[in-house]
Amino acid sequence: MEIMRQTRGNNTRILLLCGVLAPAILLLTIIVVGQISPNYNPVSDTISQMGVSSNPYAVALNSSYAIYGVLMCCAAYGFYLKLRHSTLAKNLAILIGIHAIGNVFLAAFPDSADYPGKTFTEDILHNSFSALVSIALLACILIFRKITRQEKSLQVVAMLGLVIILVSLPLPFINMIDSLKPFSGLLQRLIVSGSFSWIALASVFLMRSSPRVEAVPT
C-alpha cells in the first residue's frame, strides 16, 4: 500500500512538472522567435503576428503552442489529483484544459493585419479564442484561491493570482487606445508572462505541498 501511495505521488509530481515546463517552453520560444523574425518588432507587434505563414519561424512558434497544450492538459490532471479529486478541483482541471487547448487554436488563427487573405471569420475566431484563454485562466485563479484558502503557503500564490487578474483586465483594450498601440506587443508580453509565471508557480508549490491540500466542501 505504501509503495502504491509513493508511486501515485511520484506520478502526480511528474504531471505537475508539466505545468512548469509548458509555460517555460512557450515563453522561451516567444522571446527567441520575436528576436529573429524578420520585419517584426517585439515592442509594437503582438505575439500572434509571429505565427503567420509569411514568418519563416512560424512553425517553431505554432509547434510550441501545441506542446504547451499537451503539457498543460497533463498538468490539469495533476492539479486534480493533488487537490483531492473534489468537485472544485475537477472544475479547475477542466478550465486549465480549456485554457491549454484555446492556446493551440490561437496559433491556428493568428491575428495580423498583414496576413494575406485573412477573412473576417478568422479575425472573429482569433479574438474569441483569445478571450476564452484569458477568461479560463482567470477563473482557474479564482477557483485555486477558494480551494487553497486553508493552506498558508499556497495563499501567496493565490494572492499573486488576484494581482494578475487585475493587471490582465485591460489586455483586450490595448489595441483600442492609440497611445498604447506602439507598445501593445510589450504590454501583451508582460501580462502573458505574468499569467504563465502564475501557472508555473502554482505547479511548483503544489509539488512541494505535503500532504495533499484539503479541498473546501462543495
pLDDT in tens, 136-186: 988 999 899 888 877 777 778 888 888 888 877 766 666 667 676 788 888
- Top-confidence residue, 184 or 203: 203
Give pLDDT, residue 174. Answer: 66
Where exactly are the structural domains of the chain?
2-208
Contact criterion met (CB below 8 Å) for 47 and 185: yes
Report yes or no: 98 and 105 within 8 Å, Cβ to Cβ.
no
pLDDT by residue (tens digit) across 14-56? Answer: 999 999 999 999 999 999 999 999 989 999 888 888 888 788 8
Residue bearing cell 501580462: 191
Q: Is 67 exposed, middle or buried (0-12, 13-18, 19+ CB in 10 A)?
A: middle
What does the pLDDT look like over 84-138, one tens digit per residue? 768 899 999 999 999 999 988 887 777 655 555 555 566 678 778 888 888 898 8
pTM, two decimal places = 0.83
